Structures are given as structure tokens and as C-alpha cells.
Copies of this chain bind each other. A is one copy, B any other.
Amino acid sequence: MKNKVEKEWEKEFDYFNKRITPCRRAIMEIFEEEERHLSAEEVYMLLRERGEKVGIATVYRNLDLLSQMGLLHRVNFGDGREHYEMTRVSPPQHHHHLVCTRCGKVIDYSELVREEHEFLDRLERELSSKYDFLIQSHQIYFYGLCESCRSNFES
């Protein structure tokens, strides 16, 4: 195994004994460029636009692998499919999600990042040691009803 290491995330491939294939590199690049959560289908489309000839199964496999490696993490909005986001370490670009349980609308927010950091750092330390768990990322979801769904709730 002799992956060239130019980017931070490339080290992880050595650590996990995985190869940096064109498909995997392209997926990582897509997430670096698109700063948003993407479904497997969306990643697949973006790969094709780039001219990468990959099968959808490989996309699923690699999204799964990258998640296990901690480079991506899954976010789930209850719409029946998984979404993936880059796990950004630096700069720490924390943002979380407000999810409307009725229409599925998702609002990204990044309020009170500093306070969150203080609180979650402490919590993470407690949990890591208590449960012997390597914490790689976290997600906060707020669930409720958005304005439009609140004003006209009907069967």
C-alpha cells in the first residue's frame, strides 16, 4: 500500500488499509466542492457529470466505506434515504438541522456554535471515556413544524 498523501483525508486510507481509487478520490472531491449533504443518487449523478464511469453499487459501497472511516457522516432527515456530508475538521464548520416532521423541509443552521462547542466538548470527553467510544462526529437535530405546515395542518 503506497498511497500518495497530499490531502489530510488521504492518510486515513493508509490507516484503514484501503486504496485510493479514482472513484473514491472523485467522491471526496465532490464533497469538498459541494458544501452540502448529498444522497447516494446525487453523488452518482455528480460523478457522471464529471465523466466518471461508475456503477451505482460502487457509489453506495464507497459512501459506506467513507462513513466508516469517519471522512463522511450520514445525516438522516426521515425522507427515506441517507444523506452524506463531509466531516470537516478544519475549519470546523459545524452546522446542524431543523427538520419539519410534516413536509420534510430541512433548514441548516449554525447558531451558537461557540456555546455548542464548549458544551459538546465536555460531553464528548465524558462519553468517550465512560463508554470507551471513539467519537468522530456528532449531529443535533431539531424536529418540529415549519411555518407553512403549522398554519395549514390538514389530513
A contact residues vs B (CB 8 Å cutoff): 16-17, 67-68, 70, 73-74, 76, 78, 82, 98, 100-102, 107, 109, 111-112, 115-116, 119, 122-124, 126-127, 130-147, 150, 153, 155
B135 and A142 contacting across the interface, CB-CB below 8 Å:
yes
List B contacts of A143 (CB < 8 A). Answer: 70, 73-74, 135-139
A123 and B111 contacting across the interface, CB-CB below 8 Å:
yes
B102 and A127 contacting across the interface, CB-CB below 8 Å:
no
Q: Nearest 8 CB-CB pairs, A to B?
A: A135-B144, A132-B147, A76-B76, A136-B144, A134-B145, A134-B144, A119-B119, A138-B142
List B contacts of A74 (CB < 8 A). Answer: 78, 101, 143
Q: How far is the CA of A144 from the CA of B137 in the complex (A)?
A: 7
List B contacts of A70 (CB < 8 A). Answer: 101, 143-145
- In the complex, which residue of chain B has the Cβ closest to the Cβ of A150? B134
Closest Cβ–Cβ distance, residue A110 to chain B (whole Å): 11
